[in-house]
C-alpha cells in the first residue's frame, strides 16, 4: 500500500458492473487510480464528524424477498456517533411499517448517504449491521468516500416536533399502482434517493447495497402509469447505482415531501437506456437514462419530524432539461427534413457589419439538438426577388441555448444579408431546416484546440467556445482552447466582450487573441486588441507550444488557405486541421505522408439527364453545366443554398445512373441522394435519372 492508496487492497474498489460502465465511457483506468486515492475501508475524521452533525441519514436496504428500499432516518444532530473509524452508531429505529425495519438483521448490508442540504455536502458509506436493539443500530464500515455537490438543491431544515414523538398520522399504506397523489408528488419533485444492490460474494466490501441522491429541475422524472423514466446526468464516474443495475436490475426509490414530511417509497425493476436512445438524446444534459417499473410501494404519512424550505436550485440542475421540453424536441425530430417556421425573438448588433438574430420555433415544437459549429439553412423572400431564396448561416448560439442564433454580415451585393439587416423585425417569421454540418467541436476531447477565425468566421468559434465552457461546468472538464480572431477594425469585430468574459470565467483555459488590421489612433494593444496585422507563423510560435492540437479554421478562402499552408509549414498534420463547411471546396490540402487521396471519377463525354417527376430529358455533353444548372435551364426551380456542395440544401434522390462532382461536396446527404449543385454525369453513366 502506497501513501496514495487509501483503499489498500489487492482487488478493485469497484465491482464488475461499475467497472463495465467505466469502460463504456472510457474512464476505467482513470477511475481505478482515482478511487484508490479517495475510497477507504474506514472513515476519515472529517467524515465521522460530518455524520455526527446530521439531523437525518438516507438508508438503502434489501428486504427478505430481494427488493431494495430507500428511506430516511431522522434525529437531532448527534443521533449518529462514530466511536472509531470502522463503526457508526445510529440512535433511532425505523417506523414499524418502514421496510427497513424488517431488513435489520446481523450481517445485513446497508448503504448510507449523509447529506447536508443547506451546504450541498454529502458523503457515502457502505456498512453491515453488527448489532440491533430498541435504542438503535451499530454498523461496521466496508467503504467510505465523499461525493460531489452536483444537482443538490439547497434547503433549510426546521423541526416541527421532537424526533421519536408520534406523528400526526403514523399509519402506512401499501400499493401496487401509483395513484394521482403519488404521480403528482413525483412529477413535481426535484430530489429523490435511489437504492440498489448486488448480492455479496467473494468481495463483500465492494458489493452489497448502495444509496444515492438524484436531483434535477422539477419535472425531471417522467411518470407513465407505473413506469418512471429518470435521466442520468454527468457525475463522478463511480457508477455505483448504474453498475448495480447492470448486474441486478432492481431499485428502491424514496420521494420525500419536504412540505408535509410524507415518504413515498417504491421498489421495482429497472431497464437501462443508453446514450443512443431517442429520449436520452432529446433530454438536455442526459448522458443515459433508466426506466423504473413499480412492483409495490409504501406511503408513510408525516414520517419526518422536520420540514424543509427551498433556498435555491443547484446551478448544475438548472442547465438540464425536463420531460416537457424533451417531448417538444422529439416532436421536432419528426420534422427534421421539413421547413419549419421560426419567429425572430431578438435582434442584436454585434459590430458595425454583423447582426445577430435569435429564432424561436413558431409551430409549438422544440429546437433540435445540434453540435457547436454547425449551420442553419434558412429560406426567406427578399423584396427584390420573385421567389424564396435559401442561404446557410453558422449558428453562433451554443447547443444548450433555448434559441437559435445566427449572426449575419451585411454584404453589399448579398440580397439575403441585406434583407435580414434592413427588413427583418422582431416578431417576423422565417423558415429553416434542421441544423447540420460536419464542422463542429467535441468538448469532451482532451486534446487542446486552436480556433482561427477571420471576420465573420468567428461565428462557429463563439458557439464552440461557449459550448466548451458550459460543458466544462457540467462535466468538470474544460477542453483547453486558444482563439485567434482577425478583423479589419475593432468596430467590425464581433463578440469581443463575450470572448474576453469566457477567458476570464475559465481562468484562461480558454484564451482569446484579437488581431486588428487597421486600429484607430486612440486604440492600444493589450487593451483594445492583442496585435495588429495577420496571424502569422511567428504569432503561432510565440503563443502556442505547437504540441498536439486540433486546429479549426473559418473565414474567407484566402485567409483559410494562407493559415492552412502556414500550419502545414509548421509541421501540423493535415488530419489535425479542420475547415468550416463552406470552405473545404476551395481549400487546397496537402495529404499527410502515406495518405491516400481518392481520385474523383471522370466526367462523362456524353450522357442523358432525365428529370423523372417533370418528364424532361436532356442530352448532356462534356463541359455542360451541373445538374442544377441544367434543371434551371429547363425552368425547374430546385432548392439550393451555397452552390458549392457545402450546405446540402440541393440534395435530390438519384434513381439511376452515376455522378461525379466538380468540387468535392461536404454537405450532408443520404446514400441514395446527390448534391446537384456540383454534380455532373460520371463516365459511362448512360442515363442519369434524377427525382425532380
Q: What is the pTM of this model?
A: 0.84
* CATH number, domain 449-586, options 3.40.50.80, 1.10.645.10, 3.40.50.300, 3.40.47.10: 3.40.50.80
CA distance 332 to 291: 23
The answer to whether 441 and 371 are in contact (CB under 8 A) is yes
Phi, psi of 433 (to 5 degrees): -100, 175
The answer to whether 296 and 174 are in contact (CB under 8 A) is yes
The answer to whether 421 and 393 are in contact (CB under 8 A) is no
CATH architecture of 16-324: Roll (2.30)
Chain segment 153-167, per-residue pLDDT in tens: 999 999 999 987 766
Short-list 422, 471, 430, CA closest to 449: 471
Three-state DSSP class for residue 248: coil
CB atoms closer than 10 angstroms to residue 643? 16
Chain segment 613-644, per-residue pLDDT in tens: 998 998 998 888 899 989 888 888 888 877 87
Q: Is 120 left (phi over 0), alpha (psi -120 to 50) or beta?
A: left
Write out the CATH class of domain 606-690: alpha beta
What DSSP letter does each residue of 142-171 carry, written as one string? EEEEEE--TTPPEEEEEESS-TTSPPS---
Which residues face 43 on adjacent strands?
A: none
Find the largest Cα–Cα distance for the chain: 97
How would you write 554-570 as a 3-class SS string? Answer: ECCHHHHHHHHHHHHHC
Which residues face 390 on adjacent strands?
A: 379
The answer to whether 196 and 249 are in contact (CB under 8 A) is no
pLDDT recorded at residue 597: 58
> Which residues lie below 8 Å from residue 46, measured CB to CB, with a gap of 6+?
none
Three-state DSSP class for residue 417: helix
pLDDT recorded at residue 1: 43
pLDDT recorded at residue 83: 96
End-to-end CA distance of the chain: 72
> Which residues lie below 8 Å from residue 273, measured CB to CB, with a gap of 6+?
229, 279, 280, 288, 289, 290, 291
Q: Alpha helix locations (H) across 206-277?
A: 240-247
Report the relative pairing of strands 673-675 and 651-656 from DSSP bridges.
antiparallel
Residues of the chain with pLDDT under 50: 1-2
| Dihedral of the alpha carbons of 130, 132, 136, 140, in degrees to the nearest 10 | 10
Chain segment 76-131, per-residue pLDDT in tens: 999 999 999 999 999 999 988 999 999 999 999 999 999 999 999 999 999 999 99
What DSSP letter does each residue of 321-364 carry, written as one string? --HHHHHHHHHHHTTTTS-EEEEEEEEEE-SSSEEEEEEEESSS
Report the relative pairing of strands 354-361 and 375-380 from DSSP bridges.
unpaired
* Assigned CATH for 335-432: 2.40.30.10
User: Domain limits of the chain?
Assistant: 16-324, 335-432, 449-586, 606-690
CA distance 461 to 667: 19
b/e burial code for range 557-594 (CB count within 10 A of at least 16 → b): eebbbbbbebbeeeebeeebbbbbbbbbbebeeeeeee
> Which residues lie below 8 Å from residue 300, measured CB to CB, with a gap of 6+?
95, 97, 98, 170, 172, 262, 263, 265
pLDDT recorded at residue 684: 85
The answer to whether 481 and 449 are in contact (CB under 8 A) is yes
pLDDT recorded at residue 310: 96
The answer to whether 330 and 282 are in contact (CB under 8 A) is yes
pLDDT recorded at residue 584: 53
pLDDT recorded at residue 161: 93
CA distance 512 to 529: 10
CA distance 227 to 542: 58
Amino acid at each position: 500500500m502506497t501513501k496514495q492508496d487509501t483503499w489498500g487492497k489487492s482487488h478493485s474498489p469497484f465491482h464488475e458492473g461499475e467497472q463495465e460502465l467505466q469502460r463504456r465511457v472510457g474512464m476505467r483506468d482513470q477511475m481505478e487510480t482515482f478511487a484508490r486515492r479517495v475510497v477507504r475501508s474506514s472513515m476519515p475524521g472529517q467524515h465521522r464528524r460530518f455524520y455526527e452533525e446530521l439531523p437525518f441519514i438516507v438508508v438503502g436496504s434489501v428486504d427478505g424477498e430481494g427488493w431494495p428500499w430507500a428511506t430516511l432516518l431522522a434525529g437531532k444532530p448527534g443521533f449518529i456517533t462514530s466511536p472509531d473509524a470502522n463503526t457508526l452508531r445510529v440512535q433511532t429505529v425505523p417506523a414499524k411499517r418502514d421496510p427497513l425495519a424488517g431488513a435489520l438483521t446481523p450481517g445485513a448490508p446497508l448503504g448510507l448517504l449523509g447529506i447536508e442540504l443547506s451546504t450541498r455536502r454529502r458523503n457515502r458509506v457502505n456498512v453491515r449491521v453488527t448489532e440491533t436493539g430498541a435504542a438503535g443500530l451499530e454498523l461496521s464500515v466496508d467503504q467510505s468516500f465523499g461525493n460531489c455537490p452536483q444537482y443538490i438543491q439547497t434547503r433549510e431544515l426546521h423541526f416541527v416536533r421532537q424526533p421519536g414523538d408520534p406523528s400526526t398520522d403514523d399509519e402506512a399504506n401499501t400499493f401496487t399502482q401509483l395513484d394521482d397523489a403519488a404521480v403528482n408528488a413525483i412529477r413535481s419533485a426535484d430530489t429523490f434517493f435511489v437504492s440498489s444492490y448486488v448480492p455479496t460474494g467473494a468481495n463483500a466490501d465492494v458489493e452489497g447495497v448502495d444509496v444515492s441522491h438524484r436531483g434535477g429541475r422539477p419535472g425531471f422524472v417522467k411518470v407513465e402509469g407505473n413506469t418512471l423514466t429518470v435521466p442520468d446526468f454527468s457525475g463522478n464516474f463511480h457508477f455505483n447505482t448504474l453498475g448495480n443495475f447492470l448486474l441486478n436490475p432492481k431499485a428502491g426509490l424514496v420521494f420525500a415531501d419536504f412540505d408535509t414530511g410524507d415518504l413515498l417509497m417504491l421498489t421495482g425493476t429497472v431497464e437501462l437506456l443508453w446514450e443512443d436512445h431517442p429520449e436520452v438524446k432529446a433530454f438536455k444534459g442526459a448522458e443515459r437514462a433508466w426506466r423504473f417499473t413499480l412492483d409495490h410501494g409504501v406511503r408513510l404519512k408525516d414520517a419526518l419530524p422536520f420540514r424543509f424550505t427551498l433556498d435555491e436550485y443547484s446551478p448544475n440542475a438548472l442547465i438540464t432539461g425536463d420531460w416537457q421540453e424533451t417531448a417538444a424536441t422529439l416532436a421536432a425530430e419528426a420534422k427534421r427534413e421539413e421547413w419549419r417556421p421560426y419567429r425572430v425573438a431578438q435582434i442584436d448588433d454585434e459590430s458595425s457589419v454583423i447582426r445577430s438574430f435569435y429564432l424561436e420555433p413558431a409551430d409549438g415544437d422544440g429546437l433540435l439538438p445540434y453540435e457547436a459549429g454547425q449551420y442553419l439553412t434558412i429560406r426567406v423572400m427578399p423584396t427584390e426577388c420573385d421567389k424564396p431564396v435559401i442561404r446557410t448561416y453558422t449558428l453562433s448560439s451554443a447547443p444548450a441555448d433555448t434559441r437559435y442564433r445566427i449572426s449575419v454580415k451585411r454584404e453589399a451585393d448579398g440580397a439575403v444579408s441585406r434583407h435580414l439587416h434592413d427588413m427583418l423585425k422582431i416578431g417576423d417569421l422565417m423558415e429553416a431546416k434542421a441544423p447540420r454540418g460536419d464542422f463542429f467541436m467535441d468538448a469532451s476531447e482532451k486534446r487542446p484546440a486552436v480556433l482561427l477565425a477571420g471576420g465573420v468566421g468567428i461565428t462557429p468559434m463563439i458557439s464552440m467556445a461557449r459550448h466548451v465552457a458550459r460543458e466544462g461546468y457540467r462535466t468538470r472538464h474544460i477542453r483547453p482552447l486558444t482563439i485567434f480572431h482577425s478583423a479589419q477594425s475593432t468596430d467590425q469585430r464581433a463578440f469581443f466582450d463575450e470572448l474576453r468574459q469566457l477567458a476570464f470565467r475559465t481562468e484562461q483555459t480558454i484564451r482569446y487573441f484579437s488581431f486588428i488590421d487597421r486600429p484607430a489612433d486612440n486604440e492600444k494593444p493589450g487593451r483594445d486588441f492583442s496585435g495588429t496585422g495577420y496571424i502569422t507563423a511567428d504569432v503561432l510560435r510565440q503563443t502556442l507550444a505547437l504540441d498536439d492540437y486540433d486546429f479549426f479554421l473559418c473565414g474567407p478562402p484566402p485567409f483559410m488557405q494562407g493559415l492552412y499552408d502556414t500550419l502545414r509549414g509548421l509541421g501540423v498534420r493535415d488530419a489535425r486541421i479542420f475547415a468550416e463547411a463552406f470552405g473545404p471546396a476551395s481549400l487546397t490540402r496537402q495529404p499527410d505522408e502515406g495518405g491516400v487521396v481518392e481520385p474523383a471519377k471522370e466526367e462523362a463525354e456524353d450522357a442523358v439527364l432525365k428529370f423523372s417527376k417533370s418528364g424532361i430529358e436532356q442530352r448532356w455533353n462534356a463541359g455542360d453545366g451541373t445538374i442544377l444548372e441544367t434543371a434551371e435551364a429547363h425552368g425547374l426551380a430546385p432548392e439550393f443554398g451555397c452552390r458549392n456542395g457545402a450546405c446540402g440544401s440541393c440534395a435530390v434522390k438519384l434513381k439511376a445512373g452515376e455522378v461525379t462532382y466538380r468540387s468535392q461536396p461536404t454537405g450532408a446527404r443520404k446514400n441514395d441522394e446527390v448534391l446537384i449543385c456540383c454534380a455532373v454525369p460520371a463516365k459511362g453513366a448512360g442515363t442519369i435519372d434524377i427525382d425532380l
